[in-house]
Amino acid sequence: MPNWSCSRSWWFAIVLIGLVHVGCASRDRGVADMEQRILEELRRDGIPGPHNDSTSSAHEAPSAHSALPDAGPISLADLLALAEARNPALAAARSEVGIAAGQVWQAHLYPNPRLEVASDEVPFDSGFDNGITTVSMTQPIVLGDRLSAATDAAEAEKAASRAKLELRAREIFGEIAQLHARLLAIRQAQTLYDELAELGGRTLSMARTRFEARAAPETEVIRPQIELHQIDLARARLIKENDAALRQLELLLGGVEIDADRLAGEVTDNPPAIDLDAVATQVRQGHPALAMADREIAAAQARLERIGAERVPDLEVRAGAGYQGEIDEGIFEVGAGVTLPLWDNRQGDILAARFDLMRARHLREATQNDLLGRLAEVHGEYESARAQLATVRDQIVPAALRSFEQTQEAYRGGRAVFLELLDAQRTVTEARATLIELGGAAAAARARMMQIVGSDLEQATETSTFESIQTQPLSGSEVVP
């Protein structure tokens, strides 16, 4: 019968494996220290660490000043700080930086050794006691610059993820600025239409009094009624637009509710001129999308170099010790081996990496062209709104006011009929509403330009006096019978 009892070498192997486990536990403490250092470095850069359970908050504020003020006005800067802390898309982009940091750590780690226990030439009759039992360890020895190239590639990916975070932040901040401008324009339009509704109600009341006294035809009542209904429709539309814009803004802020009445700022009817060549230069020099494209080119180059370095095979060194039961004596063995790259020398991977590098360079050029094209389009919308604003502000509104005042004087003197006065009043109403609408369009276009250019937009803005759009009641707006 064969003897299946364990030999002394097997007991030695078990003890050795136990010592390896103890060493691994000690190594784990060093790994924990390294992880803590990496996480601390990420936190200094505003990247929160991973949560340990699913019940943890999905957002971790990068700044202690990310909450909205409890009272008083809410500035655009307050909204941007809140978005930085609460927006889930930004939180996901920050996590990508953490992923890249982990890949950098992984890339520089050396290959693990392989521990093996084996028994050879074991007789059936006497069992393991007369066989050859060895405990050996095989360690790959990295030749060439594979680890260095892998680390460089991971660092390039990490830099690209940081540029992607900056790009995502600029896109989200631009969307918030556009919604902020939209809400300000809606608020000023609501103020205007509230005044017009009050004026329309007084006009309708006076028209009814004249009609009931048989001093005017029914037409003078119908016309104010129609205009009042149109004002009510415009007010209802503004309420819907305000609710939609506010909801979009709250979603970008991570679901935080916002009181639109507390938003600080006003839409101007005199926006400054912006030099297109200057902002285009700023885009070429510092846009995060171009920075990310540059990082992608560097990452593609690093991946190509990493694959080239991986063509050099690792040298596997093997050393072991054991016991030969037949001669009752300890033995040792050594060896080395290497994989011969006869058939697979990564030729296909290298060709693919070269195309990947070429693609990254073309994408960089395409990204720049897309940014400049969008900038030219938005700048055209902005300048068009500015030109129309200047015409409405300097010519149409003053002319409409003069026409209204003159018609009102003529009506008082009996030289104009009531419907002529209503027409003049409607002309002023439409001019003032157009002024606010164009001011909002200019503000939205400016916010989209800031989304492309960033805060450097102010450097390309010509000095101009900012004046809010006037929403005060019309001088002498009450119709006198």
Question: Is the CB of residue 431 less than 8 Å from the CB of residue 391?
Answer: no
Cα 107 to Cα 86: distance, rounded to the nearest angstrom: 32
pLDDT-based confidence at 3, cuts 50/70/90? very low
C-alpha distance from residue 354 to each of 80, 119, 155, 347 (Å): 40, 48, 19, 11
CA 462 to chain centre: 29
Instruction: List, for residues 347-393, the tens digit of each pLDDT value.
Output: 888 899 899 999 999 999 999 999 999 999 999 999 999 999 999 98
pLDDT digits (tens, 9 = 90+) for 50-104: 865 444 444 554 554 557 888 889 988 899 889 988 899 999 889 888 888 888 8
Query: How far is the C-alpha of 469 from the C-alpha of 269, rounded, in Å?
Result: 5
Judge contact between 82 and 67, C-beta under 8 A. Answer: yes
What class is the 170-314+352-460 domain? mainly alpha
371 CB-side CA count, 13 A: 27
Sketch the domain layout of the chain as residue ranges: 170-314+352-460
Give Cα separations from 40 to 37, 97, 101, 300 (angstroms): 5, 13, 12, 28
* Closest by CA position to 182, among listed 437, 474, 459: 437
- Residue 320 sits at φ, ψ, to 5 deg, of -155, 165
d(CA 56, CA 35): 20
- pLDDT of amino acid 366: 95
Per-residue pLDDT tens digits for 230-248 = 888 988 999 999 999 999 9
Tell me the percentage of the chain whose pLDDT exceeds 70. 80
- Of 245, 244, 236, 269, the C-alpha closest to 438 is 269
Q: What is the widest separation between alpha-carbon atoms in the chain?
A: 136
CB atoms under 10 Å from CB of 396, counted, come to: 18
